[in-house]
A and B are shown apart, each in its own frame.
Chain A
Amino acid sequence: MSLLAFIARRVLLIIPTLWVIATLTFFLIHAAPGGPFQAERDIPAAAKEQLMRQYGLDQPLVRQYGRFLANAVRLDFGPSYKYPSRQVREIIFEALPVSAELGGWALLLAVLVGVPIGVIAAVKQNSRADYAAMGLALAGVSVPNFVLGPVLVLGLSLTLYLLPPALWQGPESRILPVLTLSTAYIAYIARLTRGGMLEVLRQDYIRTARAKGLGESVVVAKHALRLGILPVVSYIGPAAARIMMGSIVVESIFSVPGLGRYLVNAAFNRDYTLVLGEVLFYASFLMGLNLVIDIAYTRLDPRVELA
């Protein structure tokens, strides 16, 4: 099957998936108790009716659903209920670069640190270096970022006064959130790399490479790594989507104006339009990245065919 046909088929599959997600989200959020215009301080009935009319919430749910779908196709989710001066699209496109930057740095760091650690651990299997690396990886996976973040802030910002404790201003403000976010990924990628490499290093073609007299470093870097890293590649797709769509915990601890905070708060606030916009955006992003990863797979592993 040609690459183009493959992409076309996958895109055609994405559309009904998105529709299912949109429908489920729409009815779930509308079924949640309360609504967007509810406050502890009573809202006068007239004002509430007016707001409901303005946003079309007085219409039957099915009609609201139809209108939502028709607009969603045009990527128009309307204004946020919570922040009426802003369109959902604007909010997403303002917050996305921030989350993507934070996630991008964290993922880059995770790959740059995690892969070498994993390779070393695999090559020196059962050595002290292996145990040390895997011990660290275990710790990295186990320490949640809501513990790691405050500990880093405590040490580096509030005791040593080296880095700002929060806010997204200037390059130095990136360091702590990126470190906090990447640790778990570094650890996981190191473990995946080690596992992949161990399997590959036992294979016949590696023995062949060694037999024809290639140096060990060439064998590892050129022959083994290419296949050994495959588990990492398949992990990076969803991981990238997740990490770039924002981490609610890290964004809260460091007060980063990213997407993660919006998504959670929008659900609490019953900000229907913002929730729907974010969910659909996230779903598309995730499926898009998975498609890219599948394509990358065929380039790395000649045994994999497009199906």
Chain B
Amino acid sequence: MRDGRRSRLPVRLLCSAAVRHLAQVPRRNGFRHPRLRPLAAALLVALALGACAPGEDGVVRTSASGPRWFGATSLPPGDVFRFSLGAEPETYDPGLAVGQPDGRVARILFEGLTREDPQTLEPLPGQAYRWELSDQGRTYTFHLRPGIQWSDGRPVTAGDFRWSWLRVLRPETASRYASFLSPVVNAEAFNKGDVKDDRQVGLEAPDDSTFVVHLASPVPYFLYLCQFYTCLPVPRWTIEKYGNRWTLPGTIVTNGAFTLTYWRQNNRFEFAKNPRYWDAASVRLGRMVGYTLDDLNTTFNLYKAGVIDWCPSGYFPSAFIPYMRGYGDYSHGDFQGVYFYSISVTHPPMNNVWVRRALNHAVDRDAIANQLLKGSRRPWGNLVPTGYPGYLNPPGIRFDPGYARQCLAKAGYPGGQGFPKISILINTSEDHRRIAEAIQAMWKRELGIAVAIQNEEWGSYLQTLTSLHYDVARRSWLGDYLDPNTFLACYVTGDGNNRSGWSDSRYDAMIRDAAKELDPARRLAILQQAEALLLSEGPVVPIYHYSTNELIKPYVRGIYHTALDIHPLTRVWIDHDWQKRAAPVAVAPGGPGTETR
């Protein structure tokens, strides 16, 4: 497979963001100084414990009734909201954007047909004020809001949407997320260059305010796909004029709640309220500043000093999570991502299903999540995370050393005798190493097998992973949209994200059947069976469920925990009277649930 063919399903997993959670480094530009982090961490933990004791310096405000706050709580000057964007985005051209920071910027600047509800992520009317579904779920007709404009005053038309979506599909655009539009009639063939005429693609703009999308077959989660940043509209005339430099401040034209006023690479983005946005009346922020910060300790320091008001999930060192639980700033919740070990089934002994089962049942997930990671993650024995509307996970893999030993004996290695030495591939990160060492010890203890740890730098790690020249490799996936398909479709034979060499025709058939099933409950039941099969036969050793862990200053309103860690910032505001209001209810330390402020 290599990283060869495109997936037939509109499903790709956004993985790298998850890596960042563990690598403690914002995506991509991940500089990690191996010696710097532990030291700085120790210093900062000392600080978090010492310098922030209640009552000191009047900086941490405590009251009998309200929660404690971490560091400075002085209000930002005016209606400005300042936050960390993580690493420098590669590009924030919506059609080309890849990573989480890219998407965050694109979502601030552009608005799609629908927009996400800030709490549930359900589609709300955006540039389209209503839409209809017809032709047995295969045709969506979107009606654009009258009078909507680009930031340069041109009207936003259905033709803009059609052009933008076709641009994503054009082979010469080389959009990495073009598969999000694959459900559209002929989209995939057009993207591959097999269909040359864009009129054969199922996208129509019969008039300026009507955008019609024809799907090859019904896709229950299509509106979630349309919400993804790849499907945001872009201004044709500036792209045709400036090429790939159209996104620079000064030339960029947007249709969202904000415009880009300043950008300096590796420093910051500044956004100003877009007065031409249709809902400008409900945008209360005048300005936003997104700092590109690739060092997590630095981000944490800036948050404490009150230079940034929001530290999104994964942008401060996970070692500090236990110390932050007592503060009102800390907000956490489930996040649609799973950390797991992938097994390359291309060679013995890993091609033996009993070996895979033995390895799987000999992992004590509870010890890793609750002891090693101090409860900052949830032990998880499934591939699909929790919380997909209507989906019930099959029983997850349990820690059962006795059964694990039986499995290994069935595989022909009783007590681990004659088992060749295998290795765990990780990319460089303190946390990955700690987890790998814990699992190495578990496999040694429970199964009596020798395991080495193979550490590679990110680029080499990806190469090894893709070429399948590994035994066991650390991986993680984050869901792109609220449907189990975003996880399960990866393990279809030959999918570019499979990366294990595993192939099972029964599994492929289930995923195919589910895609054709019109009844939502039956469809999810098929997917549940598929997950059960994958867990019992497949190349996956699930370890833990991701959580979001963010820090929000007490005066910031309108940021909520969401399952995909997506945060529409349009309705965020600064509460200048926050101290006069009743203190928001703090999350109980370590307790479940989320802050909703």
Contact = CB atoms under 8 A, between A and B. Distances in A.
A144 B40 CA distance: 12
B73 to A, nearest CB: 12
Interface string B222-266: 000000000000000000000011011000000000000000111
Given A40-B462, A83-B88, A158-B305, A269 B4 contact: no
Given A85-B248, A150-B40, A264-B31, A38 B463 contact: yes
Interface residues of A, number: 58
B427 to A, nearest CB: 9
B39 A147 contact: yes
Chain B interface size band reads 35 or more
B496 interface: yes
Given A85-B247, A154-B43, A146 B35 contact: yes
Interface in B79-106: 88, 90-91, 93, 96, 98
A204 interface: no
A95 interface: yes
Interface string B172-199: 1111101100000000000111000000
Nearest to B295: A252
B39 A86 contact: no
A6 interface: no
Contacts of B398: none
A47 B244 contact: no
Contacts of A42: 3, 7, 12, 495-497, 499
B90 A249 contact: no
**Which residue, of A79, A95, A154, has the highest number of chain B Cβ atoms within 10 A?**
A154
A147 to B, nearest CB: 6
A268 B305 contact: no
Given A33-B460, A42-B496, A151-B43, A161 B59 contact: yes
A108 to B, nearest CB: 24
Interface string B6-50: 110000111110010000000011110101100110011001000
Contacts of B172: 50
A94 B175 CA distance: 28
Contact of A165 (B5, B176, B307): B307
Given A38-B3, A42-B497, A82 B460 contact: no
A255 B463 contact: no
Nearest to A269: B28
B132 to A, nearest CB: 31
Contact of A46 (B33, B43, B171, B458): B171
Contacts of A91: 265
17 contacts: A33-B459, A39-B176, A43-B176, A43-B496, A45-B4, A47-B175, A47-B176, A47-B178, A150-B40, A158-B71, A161-B72, A166-B307, A252-B294, A255-B266, A255-B298, A261-B266, A265-B294
Interface of A: 32-35, 38-48, 50-51, 54, 79, 82-86, 91, 94-95, 144, 146-147, 150-151, 153-154, 157-159, 161, 164-168, 248-249, 252-255, 257-258, 261-262, 264-265, 268-270
Given A44-B496, A144-B35, 7 more contacts: A41-B13, A45-B496, A85-B247, A150-B297, A166-B302, A258-B266, A270-B459
